[in-house]
Amino acid sequence: MPTSVLVIDDSEMVRDQIIQTLRKCTLFDQYREAGDGIEGFKALITEPADLVLCDLEMPRMDGFKFLALMQSQKGLKDIPVIMLTGREDTELKIRGLEQGACDYVTKPFDAGELVARVKVQLKIKALQDALKRSNELLTELSNTDPLTGLSNRRYFAETLEREFPRSVRKNESFSLAMGDIDYFKKINDTYGHQEGDMVLTTVATFIRNLIRRYDVAARYGGEEFAVILPDTDAAQAIQFAERLRKGVEALTFSGRLQPLTVTISIGVATFPSPQIDSIDKLVRSADEALYRAKKNGRNRVESREHC
């Protein structure tokens, strides 16, 4: 992805001088410029930059107001800003640093100093970006079941804690489907645990492709799966569960598993319901419906609404 710098200064001569200095060191792929804070902020909203050099004193919007606007935008607040000023005023510099600036360069600037300060900020940003990516990866790994790639039980519980109150607050339907692969122990005993894992990952992939982007599918336990269905009433949840049941039954396998047909039993529960007023009761109701599906012959959907 191309790197870019945005130079904001009301002096075209200063902007050109800064850009020419940076070009000589080939620090960026794109060099953009703006004549004041308003123009600069609009440019960042349209396309964020990797670094901003911004004059402190400008017409219409000065550097302090520009910093405040950047700090108010989640997507812009992490962009490093080096302030440019012709005044040797310590209080102004402290104020700028407190409002989000990363560094200061005094005009008229020394070319070597400017380049050095820009390089430092780019290095810091690269380290911060790498750390951010690592943290995001760690978060994703901590929320994911390593075998199936679905959410794990902990993230499932966190999502319920977040989504159930939202549904209560907005008075929206909220459903939970819990499925269990039928006779999974027999699959492991007949084909081995590696092939059993292949069955789990194949079913999990099908579930992941079936759900909507705002649904959450999780591996709830061994061969048991759970799907959180926000903004879904009882009839819609049963329709989803039937699509899931039929889809799993239609799955095909290769190798030693080629003759295998896998089925799944599913229990569904929906809020609001006279018997469901909490997360625990929602989960318990879906689990009880799943138990009835198993008891009534497997490869079927049972719902709390049909009790």
CATH number, domain with residue 35: 3.40.50.2300
Q: Domain total for the chain?
A: 2
Q: Which CATH number covers residue 180?
A: 3.30.70.270
pLDDT at 136 over 90: no
Last residue of a domain, one of 93, 114, 139: 139
What single letter denotes the amino acid at residue 304?
R
String of DSSP letters for 216-270: EEEEEETTEEEEEEET--HHHHHHHHHHHHHHHHT----GGGTT----EEEEEEE
Q: What pTM value is reported for the model?
A: 0.66
- What was the pLDDT predicted at 305? 61
Last residue of a domain, one of 111, 139, 167: 139
- What was the pLDDT predicted at 306? 53
Cβ pair 26, 122 in contact under 8 A: no
Structural domain including 298 reads: 153-306
Mean predicted confidence (pLDDT) in 109-132: 92
Q: Please list the active-site residues.
A: 223
- What was the pLDDT predicted at 206? 97
Q: Residue 203: beta bridge partners?
A: none
In a 13 Å sphere around the CA of 293, the CA atoms on its Cβ side amount to 30
pLDDT band for 49, please (50, 70, 90 cuts). very high
Question: What is the percent of the chain where pLDDT is above 90?
Answer: 72
